Structure 1
């Protein structure tokens, strides 16, 4: 029997897997980024999901964000439908039980008397299940296990932060954080950002040209593969302005992409992905620009590096994210249907540009138990492919409704829209009044007959100015209304991206 010889790029990716022992990655003993602090509304609880668990984030009286299981111990009503009270406790809005920052029940108002209430509150069964949390670099991080043991273990491990943001240097510029729930799995997110070859093709018009920039390059391994620390690859050859380009996977949630320019500047793409439930992940990311010695900023990621408010960056991000989503959402479902064989047997990856993707898939299979260990209460099956593009490209439920910055901006845009339409009507009305007054004056002076219609007399300049203002204001209202649509849905097809 003849043994099939793997292509060189596949051997280069697989061989490092034999260099280390059989240690397995522990998914539940990790920190995961779950929210951006500045986009959270501290006056209410926020539902989140992590590894298939339903959780809730809320801010206590001391200003610290806390994470509980999203179920009141009384009757399992969701705490995310509750209230953050003025005393800094979380109230279940079903029967008004209250919980402190540690999850202890501090109030059961239906109790017979204070003594009975104290007795019930002291019972461990009355406590909410709390998960360790911390704030770091503007993000809320959640440890994926609960209990006293988890509290101790969480203190022994640090989140996958950005070292440059700890330097407090005026050469380091952090652009806005973006956050989005994506309708494809964590593994497909990491596979996608391990694959720079897709960038000028999928993101044609934003990050290059599918016709000019889809070129050959190699991806040599830069850092030895590790179960706990991941791996890194670099790209060669590079453009004339770039000294080095590195993709660095740091499990469980971080892909760090660094472009070092020949003038000394750096562009760091900080990409996080948290597995939330089967077929979904939560993406949080930003750009970090490191100026060169002369104080010059490096080029950023397309127009997303331009100065803009966070809310504008959030809704424009759909132009970029949906260009990948239209592939990855369906690709995941197609791969799941091909049940037989390993990942490498189901695809054809002959080029060296696929080395990092191959390495990632083998890391997942050999070092990380083959995939996410979803919570036992979670349905492990993938959802069906979404054929309704309005639902697939939904922005409201995957971002806007949980982002205070975007909600505030949307309210202002809606007010401006109404104001523009009202002002247009007022302008038009003033124009009619000016024209009518002019006709009346002319009739009184005998320069025009009273029966003369507007069709036979040229209106005065004031009428035309008012009419022009009305048209401009109505157009502005229409464009604002159309622009506000981006907060709800943004559909995309590559066939129309010329």
Structure 2
């Protein structure tokens, strides 16, 4: 029971925190296998695919719970400082430089495990549609999602026999570089000229694969292409250490905007209420002494010593990184004071060998009022994961918990009279330090984020009308299941099992009406009831992958 209480107390630290399930004996020996970080480890650089190459990477700088320091240069792995970066800790409003260019950033769009190399996949970024696909060599490529012929979406096409992307409308085919390699309708005398024309080319965009994610660089202008070769993605420093595992990973599309998503993840105080009964309990709410260490063009850096010595790092514009160091945790939680020996053991360990875990979320601006989250949970202990599809049932319940009211909140905040861009405290009343991260992020967004993402030409920046259709807002099937290979497979198997069990139950119920010994009839009846119960359970699981309403009044 004590271990269970410990687990439930830890989940308050983040919006979709991973369950912490490692235990140690008071003497210091692990009850479960504990994988501790090595002293040194070689970096695992991202690799480019298609025609785009990356520069060599230096050894990664580990994330530290300390704020940016002026004595250590920042890691070139990320386009922003790590906690041991090169920036002097400053108060709000400091820093210099022009706003970021939203189109010259690397954005992780999907986990590689979730992409089907046998068919193209459409993704949306900054209001623009792209298609991601793999050739026969399993090399990944990305184009703007339109055929140069008649502008049909290439994502509706297929990978042809030669490993090229073929448009489904008229069969034009394109190589990984975007060059047209086949126009079936072309006469022999014009075929070569037509296929070599620049107007026949698909518009390729830079793409690379790093840490199991596929990253896009949306600016495919000549200058943008060149810039992509010298800038590296904001990868997770812990995953360059072989002692860490990636943990669970999940992605979902959300019916609220990028800024609302970042604001939500950077705010740990909402967890006991928004996720009551799923991650935490309302009774676990407490004052959070959130300290702002730095806000500047590179992002926002916060510390929360009361919550497992955690830090929150927003590496602009996409990576939000919680790092948990559990020293001191047991002293702060009254129910866990019995574990003072464990606390002493933790403090005796060198800092680089203590059990550590992280919550890393990538916040992707899809379009006005729409965003995508990619989350992963690195840790250096308890290297056992439950099946992804089973883990995702809980992750989706967490995301459902605040989806409806965040969809409404961002529309209220944009009422013209609030003028939040001039002063966020005019729109929000935030008297406690728990909201320090929200205030700092909004300051960053106005000063260094140009007020928000710059959408593609022709995209209306106004939010879509508010929707009261809860099924639309919390549509797990469209927002997650169809995009997740594990959940797609699980749903397929669940539906098969549901049908088989229902059929077997019907057979058993029919069989009891035939003359048989009482002992045999009893077994047949029991089997029929068991099959009916199993079919009902499969139907419940199926529903959890499609849509589950989340009503706080019933929690």
Is contact 2:93-2:296 (8 Å) kept? no
Q: CA deviation at 1:337?
A: 2.6
Q: Structure 2 CA distance, aligned partners of 1:24 and 1:392?
A: 32
Corresponding residue of 1:427: 508
2:151 corresponds to 1:81: no
Q: How many matched pairs?
A: 439
Is contact 2:303-2:310 (8 Å) kept? yes
Q: CA deviation at 1:429?
A: 3.0
The CA deviation string for residues 72-92 of structure 1, in whole angstroms up to 9 with x for no partner, is 000101111111113110000
Q: CA deviation at 1:376?
A: 0.8
Superposition map of 1:63-212 within 5 A:
63-113=138-188, 115-169=189-243, 172-211=244-283
Which structure has the highest strand share of the two? 1
The CA deviation string for residues 38-97 of structure 1, in whole angstroms up to 9 with x for no partner, is 111111111110011011111122212211111100010111111111311000010100
2:549 corresponds to 1:475: no
Corresponding residue of 1:413: 494
Corresponding residue of 1:35: 110
Corresponding residue of 1:448: none
Q: CA deviation at 1:340?
A: 4.0
Partner-residue secondary structure (3-state), 1:258:
strand
2:410 corresponds to 1:332: yes
Corresponding residue of 1:232: 301
The CA deviation string for residues 123-153 of structure 1, in whole angstroms up to 9 with x for no partner, is 1111111110001011000002114432221
Is contact 1:132-1:150 (8 Å) kept? no
Q: Structure 2 CA distance, aligned partners of 1:282 and 1:220?
A: 28
2:324 corresponds to 1:259: yes
Moved more, 424-433 or 44-53: 424-433
Corresponding residue of 1:221: 292
Partner-residue secondary structure (3-state), 2:475:
coil
Moved more, 196-205 or 179-188: 196-205
Report the TM-score, using the length of structure 1 for normalisation.
0.85
Partner-residue secondary structure (3-state), 2:460:
coil
Corresponding residue of 2:99: 24
Corresponding residue of 1:382: 463
Corresponding residue of 1:370: 451
How has the CA–CA distance of structure 1 residues 334 and 106 changed in structure 2, closer, same or farther, with 3 Å as cutoff?
Answer: same
Q: Structure 1 CA distance, aligned partners of 2:159 and 2:413?
A: 43
Corresponding residue of 1:247: 312
Q: Structure 2 CA distance, aligned partners of 1:279 and 1:468?
A: 52
Q: Structure 2 CA distance, aligned partners of 1:473 and 1:18?
A: 64
Superposition map of 1:346-357 within 5 A:
346-357=427-438
Q: CA deviation at 1:17?
A: 4.4
Q: Structure 2 CA distance, aligned partners of 1:405 and 1:103?
A: 31
Structural RMSD (CA): 1.7
Corresponding residue of 1:465: 523
Report the TM-score, using the length of structure 2 for normalisation.
0.76
For the pair shown, the structure with the greater C-alpha radius of gyration is: 1
Q: CA deviation at 1:195?
A: 0.8
Is contact 2:279-2:398 (8 Å) kept? no
Is contact 1:338-1:346 (8 Å) kept? no
The CA deviation string for residues 284-309 of structure 1, in whole angstroms up to 9 with x for no partner, is 00111123xxxxx4xxxxxxx98321
Q: Structure 1 CA distance, aligned partners of 2:92 and 2:150?
A: 48
The CA deviation string for residues 410-431 of structure 1, in whole angstroms up to 9 with x for no partner, is 1111111111011112222333
Q: Structure 2 CA distance, aligned partners of 1:357 and 1:430?
A: 64
Moved more, 424-433 or 353-362: 424-433
Q: Structure 1 CA distance, aligned partners of 2:160 and 2:304?
A: 52
Partner-residue secondary structure (3-state), 1:290:
coil
Q: CA deviation at 1:104?
A: 0.6
Q: CA deviation at 1:360?
A: 0.3
Corresponding residue of 1:278: 368
Is contact 2:100-2:448 (8 Å) kept? yes
Q: Structure 1 CA distance, aligned partners of 2:180 and 2:324?
A: 50
Partner-residue secondary structure (3-state), 2:512:
helix
The CA deviation string for residues 138-197 of structure 1, in whole angstroms up to 9 with x for no partner, is 10000021144322211211111111111222xx12212101001111111110111111
Partner-residue secondary structure (3-state), 1:76:
coil
Q: CA deviation at 1:358?
A: 0.3
Partner-residue secondary structure (3-state), 1:275:
strand
Is contact 2:134-2:141 (8 Å) kept? yes
Structure 2's unaligned 5+ residue stretches are: 1-89, 328-345, 347-353
Q: CA deviation at 1:312?
A: 2.0
Q: Structure 2 CA distance, aligned partners of 1:33 and 1:490?
A: 28
Is contact 2:389-2:490 (8 Å) kept? yes
Q: Structure 2 CA distance, aligned partners of 1:397 and 1:390?
A: 11
Q: Structure 1 CA distance, aligned partners of 2:241 and 2:323?
A: 17
Q: CA deviation at 1:226?
A: 2.5
